[in-house]
Structure 1
Amino acid sequence: LYLFMELAEGKQKFIEAWGKLGSEWGINRTMAQVHALLLVSPEALTTEEVMETLNISRGNANMTLRDLINWGLVEKQHKPGERKEFFYADKDTWNIARQVAKERRKRELDPVLKLLAELTKIEGDAKDPEFRTFNKSVTDINKLAKNVDKTLDTMLKAEESWFWGSIFKIFK
């Protein structure tokens, strides 16, 4: 019984911490908490189990599970003879990291890259300090964003051991 209580407390602390971390990264706290719950659950859970465990409404649970499915972090499962839907999260942290990177790239980096590409085409007088400053800033940020994009592309295509080995070689 003592071990069970300890595990339950540990799970709760993980769910709270993952929710806090998610909200600091710009992800809805409830979405991060539902993801955390599914990460530490060996079996797929129903909407009702998610609602009960996290004390959230059906509407919030449904919307959050749908968002997690859209992010590619959770999949819906059907069990033979069951009418309820079950939800399961991939437990492979490398897959999770790549999926989050892919979604954030699509939602955040791609629109910025598109805008920066347009802004670098603005023409002006090279002698005008305002134009020079604007052009240099936009060009430098565009270069940085493209490098971030290339790094993300490498990460998305890489195997975990190769990627981390390459990263650690850079910092030696």
Structure 2
Amino acid sequence: MHAGSSLTRGSPPSYADVVRGSVPTVGVASDASAEELLRSFQESWAESQGVFQNLGFSVTEQRSSQVSELCRACRKRVYPMESLIADKHNFHKSCFRCDHCRGKLSLGNYASLHGRMYCKPHYKQLFKSKGNYDEGFGQKPHKELWNNKNQQDSRKGYLSLYVTWDAYLYFC
């Protein structure tokens, strides 16, 4: 389109049309309700999708789920300007707090374990109190799992030692 062109329905405006202010407005009154504005937006969106599809572009809608927009702590909606993302979870800045002392956290001073957020001093303190990352944080210890694994490993060691000694005697 050149500077003197006029718009036809379905064609996008040119830069010159936008600068001149000759871009048609959407047919919605200034005192329109939210529903009317939404309907108008959806109509123009559908029209834009059609234009892009006719030009050979694929149009995919990427909507974020309602769950990902909820604060992990208070379960209320988090708007982008107040959102803080830590460990792939959304938080309000004011809700991002230590699970132990309820102190305010920032992205530089927190540690997480078992889905819980801690300030670094309490993370270290809880680790030191029991000497592992499970008992200090109220989780069931994995000692039984470790004991079973150690017993299996020790049996394998004896077996390999026996096979090696047996092979040594055989070849000597």
Larger radius of gyration between Structure 1 and Structure 2? 2
Pick the structure with more helix per residue. 1
Shorter-chain TM-score above 0.5: no
